[in-house]
């Protein structure tokens, strides 16, 4: 049984939002084998994405939440598994489709080609298999088939799936469609000369609006995707701190300002950065958050034991799924136009190439400071 925290059940309808933006699927009859609150089902759909333009069938797992009605726009969560896993196992591990945790968001768990995603250096190059294009196609397919609120689409991923989620957040088109992003044990690979049309170059991170709400969880004993980016299994990755810093920069958050909370008897450090909107007003909702999990390996924080990737019992003391649902529930796409395009201008006109590159060249500085291990509840002192 899942160790269900009794603290809160999460609903993505807790806040009063602007009117939903109904997808073309509203009013369409539910796929016959799916029932609201019933078990998830696997489907295949024809895809034009990647593989040199050759059509192929791709597998997705879909679950409808208990509150789903085919005339009432529902939030949508796209959930990307880690390498060598699949959509079905990711559903089991995360429980995003558990109606007790999530009563109103449709959940979709696609399978990567060869069970991996673009962004992983071992994945085929983009011209052969582009999972960013695929995600766009998948979104079109889902929103035409189900009644989705186009302002409340979210993406979550584990490990290499988290690497893809980062690329979606960086993509001008997808960042205009997906409201908030969540990653556990994210693998953010550094550029590789193997792929000429590289998407790993941070200069190519071009979200179409600001801010991009982002939350990440990472164990400091992760030996598959190392926290400092140095011992990652599939090739060098950006350090988690360096990666967070780059999002702080893009999101207009002060990296040395915000809150650090110590949770679970010192096992979890929660960081919440202070981020400002275009008028310089500090957001009263979380924009950029990070959970540093002490003594935790490469795992989905808090999962039912049989499918964990690491047999680390500590991981079960902290439930990323609940935290992510709550985070998603605080975000929807801004009014059309708000913040859109502003960031792109800033990146290339104001700050310039050198500084942006510098943000990613990170690691040494963090290591030095990490050794000091200050206990002060202020991000400035820790990082
Ligand atoms: C998905 O992964 C699980 C766990 O690794 C495995 O048992 C299952 O057969 C896989 N399912 C499919 C359809 O590949």
Q: Collect all residues with Cβ–Cβ distance below 8 Å to 339 and sequence separation of at least 6.
A: 209, 210, 211, 277, 278
Residue 202 has a pLDDT of 53
Mutational pocket test of ligand 1: of 87, 88, 116, 309, the residue with most ligand atoms within 8 Å of the beta carbon:
88
The CA 294 to ligand 1 mean position distance, Å, reads 30
The pTM (predicted TM-score) of the whole model is 0.82
* Domain count for the chain: 1
Residue 50 has a pLDDT of 60
Range of the domain at 61: 5-381
Which residue is listed with tokens 């088939």? Answer: 145
Mean pLDDT by 10 residues, the chain (383 residues): 40 57 87 87 81 78 95 96 94 92 97 90 78 91 92 96 94 93 93 45 76 96 91 82 90 91 85 94 96 90 52 59 95 68 31 27 31 38 37
The CA 86 to ligand 1 mean position distance, Å, reads 6
List pLDDT tens digits, range 6-51. Answer: 334 445 544 455 678 899 999 888 766 899 999 999 988 888 776 6
Residue 52 has a pLDDT of 66
Measured over the CA atoms of residue 196, residue 200, residue 201 and residue 206, the dihedral's sign is positive
The CA 235 to ligand 1 mean position distance, Å, reads 26
Three-class secondary structure of residue 164 per DSSP: helix
Residue 42 beta carbon below 6 angstroms from any ligand 1 atom: no
List pLDDT tens digits, range 114-158. Answer: 899 988 888 877 777 889 889 999 999 899 889 999 999 999 999
Q: What is the CATH number of the domain that holds 231?
A: 3.40.50.1820
* Number of C-beta neighbours around residue 100 at 10 A: 12
Q: Collect all residues with Cβ–Cβ distance below 8 Å to 275 and sequence separation of at least 6.
A: 211, 248, 251, 252, 253, 254, 282, 283, 287, 288
Q: Which residue minimizes the CA distance to atom 14 of ligand 1?
A: 86
3, with CB counted inside 10 A (0-12, 13-18, 19+), is exposed
Residue 199 has a pLDDT of 46
């Amino acid at each position: 049984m899942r160790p269900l925290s009794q603290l809160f059940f999460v609903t993505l309808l807790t806040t009063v939002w602007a009117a939903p933006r109904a997808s073309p699927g509203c009013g369409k009859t539910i796929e016959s084998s799916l029932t609201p609150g019933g078990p998830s089902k696997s489907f295949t759909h024809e895809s034009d994405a990647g593989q040199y333009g050759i059509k192929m069938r791709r597998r997705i797992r879909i679950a409808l939440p208990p509150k789903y009605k085919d005339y009432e726009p529902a939030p949508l969560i796209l959930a990307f598994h880690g390498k060598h896993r699949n959509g079905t196992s990711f559903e089991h591990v995360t429980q995003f489709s558990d109606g007790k945790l999530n009563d109103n968001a449709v959940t979709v768990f696609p399978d990567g080609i060869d069970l991996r995603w673009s962004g992983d250096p071992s994945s085929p190059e983009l011209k052969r298999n582009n999972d960013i294009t695929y995600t766009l196609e998948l979104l079109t397919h889902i929103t035409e088939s189900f009644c989705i609120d186009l302002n409340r689409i979210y993406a979550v991923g584990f490990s290499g799936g988290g690497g893809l989620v980062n690329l979606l957040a960086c993509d001008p088109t997808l960042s205009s469609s997906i409201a908030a992003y969540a990653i556990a044990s994210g693998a953010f690979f550094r550029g590789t000369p193997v792929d000429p049309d590289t998407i790993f170059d941070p200069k190519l991170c071009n979200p179409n609006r600001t801010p991009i709400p982002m939350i990440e969880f990472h164990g400091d004993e992760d030996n598959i995707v190392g926290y400092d980016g140095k011992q990652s299994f599939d090739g060098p990755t950006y350090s988690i701190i360096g990666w967070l810093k780059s999002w702080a920069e893009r999101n207009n958050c002060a990296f040395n300002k915000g809150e650090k909370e110590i949770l679970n008897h010192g096992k979890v450090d929660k960081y919440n950065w202070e981020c400002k909107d275009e008028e310089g007003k500090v957001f009263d909702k979380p924009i950029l958050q990070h959970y540093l999990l002490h003594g935790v390996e490469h795992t989905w924080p808090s999962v039912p034991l049989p499918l964990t990737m690491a047999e680390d019992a500590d991981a079960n003391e902290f439930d990323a799924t609940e935290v992510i649902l709550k985070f998603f529930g605080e975000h929807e796409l801004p009014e059309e136009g708000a913040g859109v395009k502003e960031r792109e201008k800033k990146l290339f006109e104001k700050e310039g190439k050198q500084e942006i590159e510098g943000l990613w060249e990170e690691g040494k500085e963090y290591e030095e400071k990490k050794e000091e291990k200050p206990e002060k509840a202020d991000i400035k002192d820790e990082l």
